[in-house]
Amino acid sequence: MMLDYLNKVKLTIPEPDLDEDQIAEIMNTTISGTRISEVENINDILTTSNPSVEFVAEFKPHTLDDIKKELQKGLPVSVWIHTGSVEYLHSIVITGIDDIAKTICYNDPIYRQKTISQSEFVTKWEQGQALMIKTEIGRINRYTLETWQQELSDEQP
């Protein structure tokens, strides 16, 4: 979900399409889901986009303000929540926060687009230790043919 969004909105040269099975294999996903520690495995094959894209798992508690900062930059955020229906945590992608309505909008790989109250979200998120996966754009400088040609022409007297 996050990579699809980035390919459409943020990247001038997109990453190749990966199907769910490929992503699951790269991140060692099991029937119980994907461990947050395995998410960064995907970065090893995200090598063609411009600007570069990387997913960074942060192993520390976060706040709603941390999510808001990422969303304000136009970057998707993935978090793990406890749904109560299963023993393990469930990953979702936060797509919006409405402070007036006090709601959180998110994409769920199973249930698609959903909206819940901020208080319900925070409770479920804190049960998952309030962990977050951030998206970094442009940390690695990748040259395109156009960039290389421009640099050559800039060097000409």
Coil, helix or strand for 53? strand
Output the pTM of the full model: 0.77
106: closest CA among 129, 83, 127?
Answer: 83
Average pLDDT over residues 48-68: 89
Domains of the chain from N-terminus onward:
2-155 (3.90.70.10)
Does 155 score more than 90 pLDDT?
no
pLDDT in tens, 100-142: 999 999 988 777 889 999 999 999 999 989 999 998 887 776 6
Do 137 and 51 form a contact (C-beta atoms < 8 A)?
yes
pLDDT at position 153, please?
A: 74
All residues at 6 or more sequence positions from 73 whose CB lies less than 8 Å from its CB, including other chains: none
pLDDT at position 5, please?
A: 73
pLDDT at position 118, please?
A: 97
pLDDT in tens, 144-154: 666 556 666 77
